[in-house]
Amino acid sequence: MPDNIQLLPDHIANQIAAGEVIQRPASAVKELLENAVDAGATEIRLIVNDAGKALIQVIDNGKGMNETDARLCFERHATSKIRQIEDLFHINTMGFRGEALASVAAVSQVELRTRRHSDELGTYIEIENSAVVRQEPCAAAPGTSISMKNLFFNVPARRNFLKSNAAEMRHVIDEFIRVAMAFPQLFFSLTHNGQQVFHLDRGSLKQRLVQLLGSHYNSRLVSVQEQTDYLNIQGFVGKPESAKKTRGDQYFFVNNRFIRSAYLNHAVMQAYQDLIPGDSFPAYVLFIDLNPEQIDVNVHPTKQEIKFEDEKIVYAFVQAAVKHALAQFSITPTLEFDI
């Protein structure tokens, strides 16, 4: 009787694992933008064609990679960001799993051009099916340019799951907005099929929000800013009268990472309780910063969910901070005395 179990070849294992990190063009966009941020770039350009199905390219002026790293970065579990398990609780980078580029290399045709500022020549690498098909020294601007072409060209079933270009582009823009929102001190641009969608000069958070969400926000934002020893919260909430009937622009960031949290959303809703009709939704963009030891980011491959060591404190704090910011809008009962 032959044995039944076989070890999968690396490139198939990589393709399977890639499914966790990259479901659609937007997930690749997120990973590549975050890598550029982690590389210390001050200018980050995103270029996509056919909503990212044909091309996703990110060009940054960050620290670049040397020849060895340029090759190693496509290996699974290859990361410069953590060294040991304890580091998971001191994360101050967007990435740390060392899985994104391995996934990218498993499901698209990749071209990398990268140069460290101190090097004269850069490195050019081409990858297909997780294997390097070409590598050579090249002239390159300092920083990194990475292109992924024909996403899922080798996983047709997954390619068939992609939605229309309009729908996929909406997701791409959502991811772009989340990263660009968290780093208003960096320049970002987005070009789709040769047309500029965003060109975001560096500026204040408020300027960035207006650029990203629309100029009507100029007069609709109320600043939120509170600090304790445990955590810091800053950002903006919408004036009560601008609340909408549809859940619109609601963003939480924890240590600059966009997260989804029904729990914290509830905290904000509580703060608006008497100010807006029960069936409407306020806008908010809130940045919570706390010691990385107080959170676990390694809950989900996309890192959009995190665990707080003490969720209740964060809830209470968010609610209080938003309430405080909105105090000017509450109708305080006044007592009148007839003398």
Residues that bind Mg ion (CB under 5 A): 35, 95, 100
Options 33, 39, 155, 271; binder of ligand ADP; rule CB under 6 A: 39
Q: Could you tell which of Mg ion, ligand ADP, none binds residue 80, using a CB distance below 5 to 8 A set by kind?
A: ligand ADP
- Please list, residue by residue across 4-39, b when 16 or more beta carbons sit within 10 angstroms of its beta carbon and e when fewer do: eeeeeeeeeebbebbeebbbbbbbbbbbbbbbbbbb
Query: How far is it, in rounded angstroms, from Cα 320 to Cα 315?
Result: 9
Contact between 309 and 294 (Cβ < 8 Å): yes
Interface mask toward ligand ADP for 121-150; x: CB under 6 A: -----------------------x------
For 329, the 3-state DSSP assignment is helix
The answer to the question of residue 96 lying near ligand ADP (CB under 6 A) is yes
Backbone torsions φ then ψ of 181, nearest 5 degrees: -65, -35
The answer to the question of residue 62 lying near ligand ADP (CB under 6 A) is yes
The answer to the question of residue 276 lying near ligand ADP (CB under 6 A) is no
If we measure between CA atoms, which residue out of 166, 164, 140, 172 comes closest to residue 46?
172
Q: Which residue sits closest to Mg ion, CB atoms considered?
A: 95
Q: By rule CB under 6 A, what count of residues binds ligand ADP? A: 24
Query: How far is it, in rounded angstroms, from Cα 284 to Cα 243?
Result: 10
- Find how far residue 129's CA is from the centre of its chain: 26
Q: Could you tell which of Mg ion, ligand ADP, none binds residue 78, using a CB distance below 5 to 8 A set by kind?
A: ligand ADP
CB closer to Mg ion out of 107 and 268: 107
If we measure between CA atoms, which residue out of 269, 301, 284 comes closest to residue 97?
301
Q: How far is the CB of 31 from ligand ADP (least distance, A)?
A: 6
Give the binding range for ligand ADP (CB under 6 A) out of 29-37, 194-202, 216-224, 307-315: 29-37
Q: How far is the CB of 146 from ligand ADP (least distance, A)?
A: 6
Contact residues for ligand ADP (CB under 6 A)? Answer: 31, 35-36, 38-39, 60, 62-65, 73, 78-81, 95-102, 144
